Amino acid sequence: MITASLALGLTAVGLAGASASFAAGPSTGTYGTTAVVNLGLSTNQAKGMQEMLIAYDLDSSMVIDGALGPDSWKAMQQMLKWFHGYDGALDGVPGPRTIVALQRWLKEDWGYSGPLDGIAGAGTQAAFARAGTYYYQLFF
C-alpha cells in the first residue's frame, strides 16, 4: 500500500485552533523537554511513521523513538507539502493546516472518511493508526 503519497507522524508544541481531543489523552505528553503529540499512535506505530519519513529521505537524522516531536512533524509537513497540499510553514507544529493535509492523505490512502476540518478526532486518529501499524510492520 505504499504510494507516492505516504507517511505521517505528529507532534506539537502549540495547537491553537485544534480540538481538545487533539491535545488531550495518553498520546500527548512531554518527552524530555519537547511536547509530543502522537495523535493516538502507540510507540511502535509512531516508530513506523518515523522510519517511513526517514526511508523517503525526509530527515535522515531523525531519532526513531516513537515520540513524534517537532523534527518528526517537520518531516511530516514536508511530505504533506509535496503530496497533499500542505501550504503552511515547516515549523514542526501539527496545527489545523497540518491536520487538514494529514486528513487528505489519510482519506486518499488509509480509509479516513471524515471531513477535512483540521481536527484530529477519533476518525483521524484511527486512520493514522492504520498507517502507523502498516509502516511499523513494513520496517520492523
Residue ranges making up the domain that contains 40: 20-135
SS3 93: coil
pLDDT band for position 135 (cuts 50, 70, 90): very high
Percentage of the residues of the chain whose pLDDT score is greater than 70: 76
Q: How many domains does one find in the chain?
A: 1
Half-sphere CA count of 111, side-chain side, radius 13 A: 11
Evaluate whether residue 13 is within a structural domain: no
Evaluate whether residue 102 is within a structural domain: yes
Evaluate whether residue 4 is within a structural domain: no
Evaluate whether residue 122 is within a structural domain: yes
User: Whole-structure pTM over 0.75, yes or no?
Assistant: yes
Distance CA 85, CA 44 (A): 27
Evaluate whether residue 140 is within a structural domain: no
Burial of 55 (C-beta count, 10 Å sphere; 0-12/13-18/19+): middle
Q: Which three cell numbers stand for residue 1?
A: 500500500
